[in-house]
């Protein structure tokens, strides 16, 4: 109580520790440092709430804190990381907006799947509730989506997602084309995720992200459960079929 341990606090001096307990001052010293480092690791990890950061990003953030001793390593922070914070913070997340704009989602790779053709594999572990990538496609009105749906092959209509946004407006994300107009040089991961109703490990959730150009409805794909490195990511296509037959979904029930 005399020497509370905090994220930014300094370890009590030897004289102060001896005054508290001359016999146990060394143990007090070691315990104080151990608990502070644990707290600092949690604190640093919390600065990256929705997606696993790289060690370089973590190291840069730690360097800006001015800590002179008892500094946790970036590797330990990354190893201890788990999703945290409120999902309501996602709309203002700079990291998520950057990934949506650049389409440079790390931790994913397009691979050949036996008997399936192409699919999406993980190159690292994803934690339940972590943002994996976005459902990329052209955002069109509900009516335009119906028109495209009617003139598109049945196989390709599986890439169309009808929904209702927070304002009650009915919209459609049209991802039936192999590449989106804004990123013609790359294929989007969501389009290559294979279907599984029983083993699906990815679920969608709708957010309205705050971009400099204005707010935009974005469907983010999130890990439904912990997924280890080297596993295939799968999406339940029946979700799209159900929402197409209806008026569109809020989508919050999916997480």
Summarised one tens digit per residue, pLDDT across range 4-21 is 889 999 888 888 777 877
Summarised one tens digit per residue, pLDDT across range 122-149 is 999 999 999 999 988 889 999 999 999 8
Confidence band of 208 (pLDDT split at 50, 70, 90)? very high
In this prediction the pTM is 0.81
Q: What is the pLDDT at residue 246?
A: 42
Helix (H, G, I), strand (E, B) or coil at 49: coil
Task: Tell me how far apart the alpha carbons of residues 202 and 179 are, in angstroms, rounded to a whole number.
Answer: 21
- For the chain, residues classed under CATH 2.170.270.10 are 87-254
Tell me, which fold does domain 87-254 have in CATH? Beta-clip-like (2.170.270)
Strand order through the sheet with 170-174: 138-141, 170-174, 160-164
Summarised one tens digit per residue, pLDDT across range 213-240 is 899 999 999 999 999 999 999 988 766 5
With a cut of 70, say whether residue 156 has pLDDT above it: no
- Please give the DSSP secondary-structure letter assigned to residue 227: B
State what percent of residues in the chain have pLDDT above 70. 90
Half-sphere exposure of 229 (CA within 13 A, CB side): 4
Contact call for residues 204 and 251 (beta carbons, < 8 A): yes
Q: Pinpoint the alpha helices (H) of 9-88.
A: 14-20, 25-45, 55-63, 74-80
Confidence band of 166 (pLDDT split at 50, 70, 90)? confident
Contact call for residues 100 and 209 (beta carbons, < 8 A): yes
């Amino acid at each position: 109580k005399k020497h509370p341990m905090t994220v930014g606090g300094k370890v009590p001096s030897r004289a102060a520790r001896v005054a508290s307990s001359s016999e146990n001052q060394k143990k007090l010293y070691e315990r104080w440092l151990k608990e502070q480092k644990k707290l600092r690791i949690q604190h640093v990890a919390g600065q990256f709430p929705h997606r696993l950061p790289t060690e370089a990003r973590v190291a840069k953030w730690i360097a800006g804190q001015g800590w002179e001793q008892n500094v946790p390593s970036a590797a330990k922070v990354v190893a201890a990381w788990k999703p945290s914070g409120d999902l309501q913070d996602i709309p203002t997340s700079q990291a998520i907006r950057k990934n949506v704009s650049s389409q440079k989602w790390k931790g994913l790779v397009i691979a050949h799947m036996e008997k399936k053709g192409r699919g999406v594999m993980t190159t690292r572990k994803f934690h339940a509730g972590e943002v994996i990538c976005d459902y990329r496609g052209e955002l069109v009105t509900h009516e335009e989506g119906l028109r495209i749906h009617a003139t598109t092959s049945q196989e390709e209509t599986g890439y169309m997602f009808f929904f209702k946004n927070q304002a009650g407006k009915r919209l459609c994300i049209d991802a039936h084309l192999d590449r989106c107009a804004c990123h013609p040089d790359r294929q989007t991961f969501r389009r290559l995720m294979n279907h599984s109703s029983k083993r699906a490990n990815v679920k969608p959730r709708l957010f309205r992200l705050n971009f400099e150009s204005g707010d935009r409805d974005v469907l983010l794909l999130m890990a439904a459960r912990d997924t280890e490195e080297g596993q295939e990511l799968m999406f339940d296509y029946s979700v799209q079929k159900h929402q197409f037959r209806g008026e569109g979904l809020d989508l919050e029930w999916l997480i």
